A and B are shown apart, each in its own frame.
Chain A
Amino acid sequence: MTAVALTVNGKAVTGDVDPRTLLVQFLRENLRLTGTHVGCDTSQCGACVVHVNGKAIKSCTVFVWQIEGANITTIEGLAEPNGPLHPMQEAFREHHGLQCGYCTPGMIMTAIDMVNRKGHELDDPTIRHELEGNLCRCTGYHNIVKAIAAGAKAMKGHVQVQS
């Protein structure tokens, strides 16, 4: 077993894990943060995307011990429990960017990272290109692309909570 200590959604957490434990398993099973999903076993689908030290990472591709000490944000940490939604969450809701919801947390985390890297004015080809690592089987991406463009604009001036 390996001892790990991380910050997740602003809270210090520790764990004693089998060294094979992936970050996504640690989040889902040890911390019961089940908003981060697993959709594949080959790092293709992006349902597991979280932010590690502010960058989008597929949490199915890292062992939790590899990111000892890191600062993690998951979908659960984007908005205060009873507060308003994060602008990107709100944009997905407003533009019907989700159907079954399974890909959604990964999509939203990827989208926020996209805005952090590419700014608030995202055109259609950029968004589609940037979504290379995220699969959605329900929406045909049409409304996801719309949601991200709108969410990107709405994120101007938004300050990320650290719940």
Chain B
Amino acid sequence: MSATGIGAAVRRKEDQRFVTGKGHYTDDVSRPGQCHAYFLRSPHAHAKIKNIDSEAAAAMPGVLAVLTGADLAADKIGNLICGWMITSKDGSQMKMAPHPAIAHGKANYVGDPVAVVVAETLPQAKDAAEKVKVDYDLLPALCDPAKAQDQGAPQIHEVAPRNTIYQWHLGDAKAVEAAFKTARHVTKLDFINNRLVPNAIEPRAAIGEYDAGSESLTLWNTTQNPHVARLVMSAFVGLAPEHKLRVIAPDVGGGFGSKIFIYPEEVVCLWAARKIGRPIKWVAERSEAFLTDAHGRDHVTHAEMAFDPDGKVTGLRVKTVANLGAYMSTFSSSVPTYLYGTLLSGQYEIPAIYCEVDAVYTNTVPVDAYRGAGRPEATFVVERLIEVGGRQMGVDPADLRQKNFIKTFPHQTPVIMIYDAGDYHASLKKALELADYAGLAKRKRESVRHDKLRGIGFSTYIEACGIAPSQAVGSLGCGVGLWESAEVRVNPTGTVEVLTGCHQHGQGHETTFAQVVSERLGIPLENVSVVHGDTDKVQFGMGTYGSRSGAVGISAIVKALDKIEAKAKKVAAHMLEAAEGDIVFEDGKFTVAGTDKSAAWGEVALNAYIAHKFAGQELEPGLKEGAFYDPTNFTFPAGCHICEVEVDPQTGESEIVAWTAVDDFGTVVNPMIVEGQVHGGIAQGVGQALLEGAIYDKDGQLVTGSLMDYCMPRAQDLPALKVEMTKTAAPSNPLGIKGCGEAGAIAAPVAVINAITDAIGTEDLPMPATPQAVWRALQKANDRRTAA
């Protein structure tokens, strides 16, 4: 390992600009002649739009245009789409309702845009928006996914009777039934995986600009995947042909999934920019973000696990209703299906699994992937059942897990996945030691002495990252391929630009990707720059989400580097007048094997461009190579998180007193960055378990619509975190990388709930486990005990 190569905790290259306030986020961009958009949004969850009178608004000072869904339709701007086709168990296709960028005829959630006002200044646009008169006919609202399919429930979209988008299933129902028939013990649980608001600290923003000379559009946008945004806005929404649309994603202030999707506002900014002939900027306010960013989770689940007399799991059945909100967001359909059902085997050898998922529409903001996306929900099901099962059978939860671990690889689960590598014992063992599991009984006694209840909770989670190969995801309904591209451009002076289709919004790719290149080519880190986030620079790419950038994005870079090395050796062979096969490349130097003849990296780069040592016919000048990399399998990061809590039974308050994480991410390029990713994921998972929950009232108003009502984790809510790793390399990519971005958020929620329920001695506890929820659970358990 070199000081800056793979495995080194290199300090981040991008930080210089961020710590000095020199980052360039979308809202920092200001275009000449720019005007401002303000969206008028439906205050009602479900209402017919009878009439929109914008005359008075249009006459207000500074107003350039007031545009509605009718204008959008008149200009034949297409609908937003969901790009993953799910087929129901009866063979029918999912029911995708039209999703216009501005509601037309009917508004379907509070926050659905009904008009946009474009004015010289933002205050002028806001003032004018107050003068737009919208005549609504109120309809009954539906917010509870559990009631969406009821007879007589409000009907949201014509295409989806009983608000049902699909009824999907996976696994073998008969085998599961047989397993349950012969089970010694069955654990049954009902739970709600609470609805979350992603809340990246940078709100979404868009600037649309039209250049009449080149008849092309440019969008600056807070997006995690500029190329996919361009593809959808071109091919489906029809804003401009792909080659006439440029999407730039500059520095992006966190995404966590919420910035993957193609949203109405960017469509409107582009469309209106052309109409008005001026650049148009829109920046979400936080309250607008609450109302319009795709939310996460929101599952209602019943699950059962069957055990044999030895405590071996023999079967698992799961029935989930997934709330997808008012419209189908870009990847929403895949989250409660192929990112959920396929992970239900956890780290365990479970012979039979059957999972049914009904996805429904409700009058709430669309729900889509949020850090972990389906995998935290699956982990919650499996890890809650095994923990409670252990408690019910009187078996130590760590022992029960060990007994059921998958021990040999590759392992085919009953739910599609083939796990290719892992060592679940190793991570559990290490975590038990670090968490001093042996000393728990003593710590519990100490807690009792100061009137507290102490509990411990495990989460031996698995996830699937780097979702690929494209052929496999295609066969499951995905509308795109999930490979990644890279281009390595060597300059005549030997410095290098790496162009990647991934996008960074906190992950530190500018550093980690450069580490890989620097090590391989033997050049200093500062001689490598990573270029991303601009469709005019990078040819194509699939963006960053699903912890894919390491496993897929870096692999593409490695493939391009292979080609660079091959070409550079040819150049060196000409320079050194040797046979190509005799050239050895090591530590940035080309040597003729067995001689002292050599050429430095910089000399070879220069020679590739001046081309004085070879004729163009024998070797093309230049040193630039591209690669598209499609992995052979998903990767399967896994590990063990242990959460220890102390609960005050008087107040219901839970304090996390210790957190131990041992994760297997395969090869780690930069451990400092990887640990940071784990910290952030855990914080979001703890937020879900203890603090966060989006709540709609019965009329469809989001009552947790600001940072004052929706509780985000603060520094005080979290302990210092013990984060360690084990390693089994991923066989499906050249460096053996598995991916680390979501692990914390996947593992954490259930670890917390397992810990609190251990402390309070009752399993009936909802998320978020606020002091009130914990206190109530304790009272309920007391009442039950007194009644018994």
Residue contact B22 to A35, C-beta cutoff 8 Å: yes
Question: Which of B30, B286, B505 is within 8 Å of A40, CB to CB?
Answer: B286
Per-residue CB proximity of B713-757 to A under 8 Å, as 1/0?
Answer: 111101011000000000000000000000010000000000000
Using CB atoms, name the residue of chain B closest to A36.
B21
Q: Which residues of A contact B559 (CB under 8 A)?
A: none
Q: Which residues of A contact B679 (CB under 8 A)?
A: 139-143
State whether the Cβ of B676 lies closer than 8 Å to any Cβ in chain A: yes
Give the interface residue-count category, chain B. 35 or more
Per-residue CB proximity of B190-229 to A under 8 Å, as 1/0?
Answer: 0000000011111100000000000000000000000000
Residue contact A35 to B718, C-beta cutoff 8 Å: no
State whether the Cβ of B23 lies closer than 8 Å to any Cβ in chain A: yes
Residue contact A132 to B714, C-beta cutoff 8 Å: yes
Min CB distance B693 to A, Å, is 16
Using CB atoms, name the residue of chain B closest to A124.
B720
Do most interface residues of chain A lie in helix, strand or loop, or is the interface mixed? loop
State whether the Cβ of A85 lies closer than 8 Å to any Cβ in chain B: yes
Residue contact B251 to A41, C-beta cutoff 8 Å: no
Per-residue CB proximity of A86-128 to B under 8 Å, as 1/0?
Answer: 0001101110101111111100100000000000000010011
Residue contact A104 to B19, C-beta cutoff 8 Å: yes
- A34 and B24 CA atoms in complex are apart in Å by 8
Residue contact B508 to A99, C-beta cutoff 8 Å: yes
Min CB distance A48 to B, Å, is 11
- Contact status of A37 and B25, CB under 8 A, knowing A98-B19, A101-B251, A103-B201: yes
Interface positions of B from 484 to 518, Cβ below 8 Å from A: 505-508
Min CB distance B473 to A, Å, is 27
Using CB atoms, name the residue of chain A closest to B251.
A101
State whether the Cβ of B706 lies closer than 8 Å to any Cβ in chain A: yes
Interface positions of A from 1 to 46, Cβ below 8 Å from B: 18, 20, 28-29, 32-42, 44-45
State whether the Cβ of A158 lies closer than 8 Å to any Cβ in chain B: no
- A100 and B584 CA atoms in complex are apart in Å by 40
Using CB atoms, name the residue of chain A closest to B14.
A101
Residue contact A93 to B16, C-beta cutoff 8 Å: yes
State whether the Cβ of B27 lies closer than 8 Å to any Cβ in chain A: yes
Min CB distance B159 to A, Å, is 36
Min CB distance B291 to A, Å, is 12
Min CB distance A46 to B, Å, is 9
State whether the Cβ of B684 lies closer than 8 Å to any Cβ in chain A: yes
Residue contact A100 to B199, C-beta cutoff 8 Å: no
- A38 and B23 CA atoms in complex are apart in Å by 14
Min CB distance A155 to B, Å, is 15
- Contact status of A101 and B718, CB under 8 A, knowing A45-B201, A93-B15: no
- A41 and B505 CA atoms in complex are apart in Å by 22
Residue contact B201 to A137, C-beta cutoff 8 Å: yes
Residue contact A138 to B19, C-beta cutoff 8 Å: no
State whether the Cβ of B638 lies closer than 8 Å to any Cβ in chain A: no
- A101 and B283 CA atoms in complex are apart in Å by 18
Q: Which residues of B contact A79 (CB under 8 A)?
A: 20
Question: Which of A33, A100, A132, A139 is within 8 Å of B202, CB to CB?
Answer: A100
State whether the Cβ of A57 lies closer than 8 Å to any Cβ in chain B: no
Min CB distance B121 to A, Å, is 8
State whether the Cβ of A47 lies closer than 8 Å to any Cβ in chain B: yes
State whether the Cβ of A131 lies closer than 8 Å to any Cβ in chain B: yes
Question: Which of B23, B677, B708 is within 8 Å of A42, CB to CB?
Answer: B708
Min CB distance A82 to B, Å, is 11
- A134 and B715 CA atoms in complex are apart in Å by 8
- A75 and B17 CA atoms in complex are apart in Å by 11
Using CB atoms, name the residue of chain A closest to B676.
A96
Residue contact B203 to A99, C-beta cutoff 8 Å: no
Using CB atoms, name the residue of chain B closest to A33.
B21
- Could you say which of A85, A101, A134, A143 has the most chain B C-beta atoms within 10 Å of its C-beta? A101
Min CB distance A85 to B, Å, is 6
Residue contact A138 to B680, C-beta cutoff 8 Å: yes
Q: Which residues of A contact B123 (CB under 8 A)?
A: 18, 20
- Contact status of A96 and B12, CB under 8 A, knowing A103-B201, A136-B201, A142-B720: yes
State whether the Cβ of B682 lies closer than 8 Å to any Cβ in chain A: yes
State whether the Cβ of A70 lies closer than 8 Å to any Cβ in chain B: no
Residue contact B676 to A143, C-beta cutoff 8 Å: yes
State whether the Cβ of B707 lies closer than 8 Å to any Cβ in chain A: yes
Min CB distance B205 to A, Å, is 10
Residue contact A132 to B286, C-beta cutoff 8 Å: no
Using CB atoms, name the residue of chain B closest to A143.
B676
Min CB distance B34 to A, Å, is 11
Min CB distance A148 to B, Å, is 10
- Contact status of A99 and B202, CB under 8 A, knowing A76-B20, A143-B679, A145-B720: no
Q: Which residues of A contact B286 (CB under 8 A)?
A: 39-42, 45
Q: Which residues of B contact A136 (CB under 8 A)?
A: 201
Q: Which residues of B contact A124 (CB under 8 A)?
A: 720
Using CB atoms, name the residue of chain B closest to A29.
B30
State whether the Cβ of B287 lies closer than 8 Å to any Cβ in chain A: yes
State whether the Cβ of A74 lies closer than 8 Å to any Cβ in chain B: yes
Using CB atoms, name the residue of chain A closest to B714.
A132
Interface positions of B from 1 to 50, Cβ below 8 Å from A: 11-12, 14-25, 27-28, 30
Q: Which residues of B contact A20 (CB under 8 A)?
A: 123
Q: Which residues of B contact A85 (CB under 8 A)?
A: 16, 19-20
- Contact status of A140 and B19, CB under 8 A, knowing A100-B202, A102-B25: no
Residue contact A105 to B706, C-beta cutoff 8 Å: no
Residue contact A99 to B11, C-beta cutoff 8 Å: no
Question: Which of A34, A138, A141 is within 8 Å of B28, CB to CB?
Answer: A34
Q: Which residues of A contact B507 (CB under 8 A)?
A: 99
Q: Which residues of B contact A102 (CB under 8 A)?
A: 23, 25, 200-202, 253-254
Q: Which residues of A contact B684 (CB under 8 A)?
A: 137, 140
Q: Which residues of B contact A141 (CB under 8 A)?
A: 679, 683, 713-715, 718
- A127 and B715 CA atoms in complex are apart in Å by 8
- Could you say which of A20, A40, A129 has the most chain B C-beta atoms within 10 Å of its C-beta? A40
- A138 and B313 CA atoms in complex are apart in Å by 37
Min CB distance A157 to B, Å, is 20
- Contact status of A140 and B744, CB under 8 A, knowing A38-B27, A85-B19, A135-B712: yes
Q: Which residues of A contact B721 (CB under 8 A)?
A: 140, 142
State whether the Cβ of B256 lies closer than 8 Å to any Cβ in chain A: yes
Q: Which residues of A contact B59 (CB under 8 A)?
A: none
State whether the Cβ of B673 lies closer than 8 Å to any Cβ in chain A: yes
Using CB atoms, name the residue of chain A closest to B21.
A35
Per-residue CB proximity of A41-62 to B under 8 Å, as 1/0?
Answer: 1101101000000000000000
- A142 and B718 CA atoms in complex are apart in Å by 8
Q: List 19 A-B contacts (CB under 8 A).
A: A20-B123, A32-B30, A35-B23, A89-B19, A93-B12, A96-B673, A99-B680, A101-B253, A101-B506, A102-B254, A105-B19, A129-B716, A131-B716, A132-B714, A135-B714, A136-B201, A138-B254, A140-B683, A144-B715
Given A45-B201, A76-B22, A98-B18, 19 additional A-B pairs, CB 8 A: A20-B123, A32-B30, A34-B24, A36-B21, A40-B706, A41-B285, A45-B707, A85-B19, A93-B11, A96-B673, A98-B15, A100-B254, A102-B254, A105-B19, A140-B679, A140-B713, A141-B718, A142-B720, A145-B715
Minimum-distance CB pairs A-B, first 5: A35-B21, A102-B253, A101-B18, A140-B683, A100-B506
